[in-house]
Amino acid sequence: MADGAYGLQILELERPAFTQATMAGGMLHLSWNDAATGAVLQRSSNLNNAVWVDVPGSEMTNRVTRLLGSGNEFFRLVKQP
């Protein structure tokens, strides 16, 4: 997912995919299907030299709300071992 100057762009590369992504009031709301419970949401600001960082608390739920920043943010779900 990327929040650019032209809005929210969703790229689904593999399952489990995001089932809902909305923006409202400067907040990004992400949710994913229950089959992905136990996965962790990670973010990176760059895909060319991506450094993926866990979104705190995302491994315990299937939804996250984040404040939108001024730059790019890319997200991925990763299965926990």
Task: Tell me if 44 sits within 8 A of 53, measured CB to CB.
Answer: yes
Statement: the pTM of the whole predicted model exceeds 0.75: no
3-class SS at 59? helix
In order of 4, 22, 27, 69, the CA distances from 8 in angstroms are 6, 8, 12, 13
Domain boundaries, the chain: 2-79
Using a pLDDT cut of 70, give the percent of the chain over it.
72
Which CATH number among 1.10.3470, 3.20.20, 2.60.40, 3.90.1150 corresponds to the domain 2-79?
2.60.40
Task: Tell me if 59 sits within 8 A of 40, measured CB to CB.
Answer: yes
List pLDDT tens digits, range 22-61: 788 888 888 887 766 678 888 888 888 889 999 998 888 8
